[in-house]
Homo-oligomer: A and B are copies of this chain.
Amino acid sequence: MTNTDYSAAMMTDMYEYTMLDAAMLDGTADRRCVFEVFTRHLPTGRRYGIAAGLGRIVDMLKDFRPSESDLKFLRDRHVVSEKTAKWLENFRFSGTIRAYREGEAFFANSPILQIEGTFAECTLLETLVLSVLNYDSAIASAASRMTSAAGDRPCMDMGGRRTNESAAVAAARAAIVGGFAGTANLAAAKKYDLVCIGTAAHAFTLLHDDERSAFVSQVNALGPGTTLLTDTYNIEQAITTAVEVAGPELGGIRIDSGDLASLAQQARKQLDSLGATNTKITVTNDLDEYALAALATAPVDSYGVGTMLVTGSGHPTCAMVYKLVEREGADGQMHPVAKKSFGKKTDGWRKRALRSYRYGLAQGELVVCGPQDQLADWQAPAEYGDTRDLLITAVDHGDIDESLASKEALLAARDYHRKALDELPVTALSLMNGEQAIPTEIITL
């Protein structure tokens, strides 16, 4: 039977391999290249984006190599020649990757990831790197707006059922980067050691002969600290029953329909009158950042966010691209390269990215292009105030910083995200459509 499984090295567009093959034949495959990932513009109206996915890239890079059956497929389909197939058998990425930290704010033209190596090894990574950064950053960006709107109230990911089953796992992780507190998704909780949360579905109430039986069952299994779902029939009656069953130490109730603000207000009054003053109220039901902002004055304790999180709240991709900006020529020297395509021009040379500050507040994103040695020496003129370099090294000449894929790194990214937002002008947190929070200035040396 044919093996139809595939490795991460196949989660890519075919042309990466055919370009590799052609370059192997013509001798350009070994040319040193610098590619950069960036987006030409933030989604309409968005003030900033949040980078996410680097930890996943680093993790997949460890074994990024076509498997034996992948190679058989590539040979059988004549995607690559025998020479290239042989070369792929021992493939190991030996280049350097520098990138924005997970949790870092980014803007149009921010060089979110910079990869340096031979054309051969850089081109193979294009599709996968883009898939990860485009999706994960879209989710982290939406999550960031949601957690800002939610203030101190924790947001929980409950969106797995509304996106591809593997995307759901990545979304749960990216949501953490954007400030979420936990997820309902077990695979994500296991893979990334996340806080896992859950209440019950309406089906659980309907399964039982009456609501009381369902509540008794759940409290017996999970203790009175559990969260009971109260909107299957009549919320007021359900809350009365819930407190009767679990006592005033009932952990929480969930409301999943109707006018959540008014219902939470009523529920709070009712719970308090029943002595359940510590019982938390969690609400769910197609929440997005606008709904969360509107709930600010309602007595809600936490939010479950689903569809709008995993679909990027209207912007399910960041439209990032992976562009060659500099490469070795026949003379052995590095040369800037740029395409001239209408509306899609690129800037040659590698970039150095800095954020400038005054009194600790971000003023602008500086994207400086130039030859490597000049870039390293470049000092921002005093008029820019303080500056901070934004790119960190994730892979150094093939040496992968695996700590970036750790649980600690993920939680650090969430903290970093908070810090990055705090440094932006307050308008960054406005949910209204507007310009990006700080301007990007491209400086060519």
Kindly supply a per-residue 1/0 record for chain A positions 19-63, scoring 1 wherever the CB is within 8 Å of any chain B CB and 0 otherwise. Answer: 101110110100101010000000000000000000000000000
Interface residues of A in 164-193 (CB under 8 A from B): 164-171, 184-187, 189-193
* Contact of A324 with B207 at beta-carbon distance under 8 Å, contacts A11-B165, A167-B163, A316-B316 already known: yes
Contact assessment for A258 and B342 in the assembled complex, using a CB-CB cutoff below 8 Å? yes
Distance, CA A22 to CA B208, complexed state (A): 11
Question: How many A residues face the partner with a CB closer than 8 A?
Answer: 112
Kindly supply a per-residue 1/0 record for chain A positions 236-256, scoring 1 wherever the CB is within 8 Å of any chain B CB and 0 otherwise. Answer: 000000000000000000001
A303 interface residue per 8 A CB criterion: no
Contact assessment for B233 and A22 in the assembled complex, using a CB-CB cutoff below 8 Å? no
Contact assessment for B25 and A190 in the assembled complex, using a CB-CB cutoff below 8 Å? no
Distance, CA A218 to CA B307, complexed state (A): 43
Q: Which residues of B contact A160 (CB under 8 A)?
A: 11-13, 127, 131
Q: Which residues of B contact A290 (CB under 8 A)?
A: none
Distance, CA A73 to CA B209, complexed state (A): 32
User: Among the interface residues A4, A192, A259, which one has the most CB atoms of the partner chain B within 10 A?
Assistant: A4
Interface residues of A in 283-300 (CB under 8 A from B): none
Q: Which residues of B contact A31 (CB under 8 A)?
A: 207
A217 interface residue per 8 A CB criterion: yes
Distance, CA A264 to CA B155, complexed state (A): 49
Binds B, one of A87-95, A197-205, A383-391, A420-428: A197-205
Q: Which residues of B contact A233 (CB under 8 A)?
A: 339-340
Kindly supply a per-residue 1/0 record for chain A positions 305-349, scoring 1 wherever the CB is within 8 Å of any chain B CB and 0 otherwise. Answer: 001001110001101001110010110000001111111100000
Please name 5 further chain A to chain B contacts, defined as beta carbons within 8 Å, in addition to the given A163-B316, A231-B339, sorted by A numbering.
A15-B201, A25-B221, A136-B164, A209-B330, A312-B316
Which 3 A-B residue pairings sit nearest by Cβ, starting from the closest?
Answer: A166-B166, A15-B198, A22-B221
Please name 23 pairs of A and B residues whose Cβ atoms are closer than 8 Å in the assembled complex, sorted by A.
A4-B190, A10-B190, A11-B168, A11-B187, A16-B201, A18-B198, A19-B203, A33-B207, A79-B186, A126-B203, A135-B164, A163-B167, A163-B317, A164-B170, A165-B166, A203-B323, A205-B339, A206-B324, A207-B337, A232-B341, A233-B339, A256-B341, A257-B344
